[in-house]
Structure 1
Amino acid sequence: MAMPVQTAMAIKSYQNQAEVLVKNYLISKPYIPYTSVLGGLLACKVAYDLSKLISTFYFKTYNGLTKIQRLEWNNRGLSTIHAIYITAMSLYFVFWSDLFSDQQFAGLVTFRSSALSTFGLGVSVGYFFADLGMIFWLYPSLGGIEYVVHHALSGIAVTYSMFSGEGQLYTYMVLISEVTTPEINMRWYLDTAGMKRSYAYLINGVTIFFAWLIARILLFVYMFYHVYLHYDQVIQMHAMGYLLVFVVPSVLGIMNLIWFGKIVKGLKKTLAKKQ
């Protein structure tokens, strides 16, 4: 009877040590930025491998692709998972959480943050680092200079907001634009599977049009309007944060408008073929 008791005590001891480790380091506020980025990188690896595993067994098209196409297929699976995650987090903090509400909390909205909001950004930083690394590694197969600029600016802005705690509301507003990523990836999948003339491809194009218009055009207008209303608070940010609030969304907004023009042109072309 002594052995089971000793075993139970040993397990309990290890459990207590694990709880102390998690509490004092993994979810301790000073370490959250580092553990969340590490967690984001690990999640990217798991998501990439899952995409590869699932696609090998369940998608006949996948096995007939070239090596670089399979890499892009898995990369798009990874970006889709990240997009779903960060969109959900962003919608929660921007529209449902009281953290950035003008009515619920006192103090400057530009300096508000929480352990969860910081963790959420950290996971996204891990993704941007991982994806940017793959873009450089396979350049220009996964995207040209516009993708490098987009990911670099996004990664810098999210990283600064995560570590400083400044402007997290505006960071999450911009990250809502990731809601368009799954539709863009689906378009590539449909094209690769030879379904460019299908109604699924047409429906996907219409979905991209409305999602892009709302999340990457109108929402950016709303963000700048919010900045205008709270400019007295924005101006109190550190110079780096102040610069990022204006420069990054402005550059991304211009890129979004250029891409939106291409989306409209492509949709018109697809609709013309269906008539």
Structure 2
Amino acid sequence: MGIKSYQNPAELLVKEYLLADSFIPYTSIICGICACKMVYDLTQLFSSVYFKSYPSLPKIQRTEWSNRSISTFHAMFITAMSLYFVFWSNLYSDNQYAGMVTFRSSALSTFSLGASVGYFLADLGMIIWFYPSLGGMEYVLHHLLSLAAVAYSMLTGEGQLYTFMVLISETTTPGINLRWYLDTVGMKRSKAYLVNGVVIFVAW
């Protein structure tokens, strides 16, 4: 009985506020930032246990190690969502008669873009905080432009299809990050490094 008394207000909070159309952009941004923090912390935890070379790395390299795991996680998430919306979702299908495709959006598409905005905010914050160790001005400009474009599409609902098309390019990010990991742990001359380079080339 006591659990149900808490359950109903909680469900009301989620349905009427957190997942209400007007709140989805802000909820998704917060979720994106929290996911980045969670991935960062878990990476530090698992890396210190399963990678022998991790504890011996300089502090800034350990920070970049965890930062790149966030980048990889975001890339896999947004690539999967982008591929889904561009190729498999009915949202932008010709069979849909919901107005011009340029102005079509859904709660899920908006949430996905919002989570991406959360990532760009978190990553930009880290780049600025550790500047220039995690990237120079080109990284700052890249993130600012990406942030502006994705946020505009998320907030207005305009051009989401084309935004997802561009975000498919995140496919190469895990490979680029893996290349850095292999180089950092001294595997630059390994077959894995060579194969990874070929995969990145093909993906581009």
TM-score category by the smaller chain? over 0.9
Aligned to 2:92: 100
8 Å Cα contact 2:98-2:104 kept in structure 1:
no
Aligned to 1:131: 123
Letter of the 2:24 partner, please give it: I
Task: Confirm or deny that 1:179 pairs with 2:171.
Answer: yes
State the secondary structure of the residue aligned to 1:60: coil
Unmatched runs of 5 consecutive residues or more in structure 1 = 1-8, 213-275
- Runs ≥4 in structure 1, deviation > 4 angstroms? none
Structure with higher Rg: it is 1
Question: Structure 2 matches for 1:205-244, cutoff 5 A?
Answer: 205-212=197-204
% identity of equivalent residues = 71
Task: Confirm or deny that 1:46 pairs with 2:34.
Answer: no
State the secondary structure of the residue aligned to 1:65: coil
Deviation of 1:42 after TM superposition, in Å, equals 0.6
State the secondary structure of the residue aligned to 1:29: coil
State the secondary structure of the residue aligned to 1:61: coil
Instruction: Summarize deviations over 1:32-81 as a string: whole Å, max 9, x none.
Output: 00000011111110010011101010001111100000000000011111
The answer to which structure has the higher helix fraction is 1
In structure 1, which of residues 24, 36, 39 is the aligned counterpart of residue 16 of structure 2?
24
Aligned to 1:82: 74
- C-alpha distance in 1 between matches for 2:98 and 2:72: 36
In structure 2, which of residues 42, 55, 80 is the aligned counterpart of residue 63 of structure 1?
55
RMSD over aligned CA atoms reads 0.8
8 Å Cα contact 1:112-1:165 kept in structure 2:
yes
Aligned to 1:109: 101
Aligned to 1:233: none
Deviation of 1:168 after TM superposition, in Å, equals 0.3
Deviation of 1:101 after TM superposition, in Å, equals 1.5
Aligned to 1:194: 186
Instruction: Summarize deviations over 1:67-102 as a string: whole Å, max 9, x none.
Output: 000000000011111111000000000010010122
- C-alpha distance in 2 between matches for 1:166 and 1:198: 45
Aligned to 2:140: 148
Instruction: Summarize deviations over 1:177-228 as a string: whole Å, max 9, x none.
Output: 111110000000000010111111110100110111xxxxxxxxxxxxxxxx
- C-alpha distance in 1 between matches for 2:201 and 2:136: 22
- C-alpha distance in 1 between matches for 2:54 and 2:111: 34
Deviation of 1:13 after TM superposition, in Å, equals 1.1
- C-alpha distance in 1 between matches for 2:100 and 2:173: 32
- C-alpha distance in 1 between matches for 2:63 and 2:180: 13
State the secondary structure of the residue aligned to 1:143: coil
TM-score by length of 2: 0.98
> Bigger relative contact order, structure 1 or 2, given CA contacts below 8 A and separation 6+?
2
Size of the alignment, in residue pairs? 204
Unmatched runs of 5 consecutive residues or more in structure 2 = none
Aligned to 1:157: 149
- C-alpha distance in 1 between matches for 2:128 and 2:199: 30
- C-alpha distance in 2 between matches for 1:132 and 1:105: 39
- C-alpha distance in 2 between matches for 1:120 and 1:50: 22
Deviation of 1:103 after TM superposition, in Å, equals 2.9
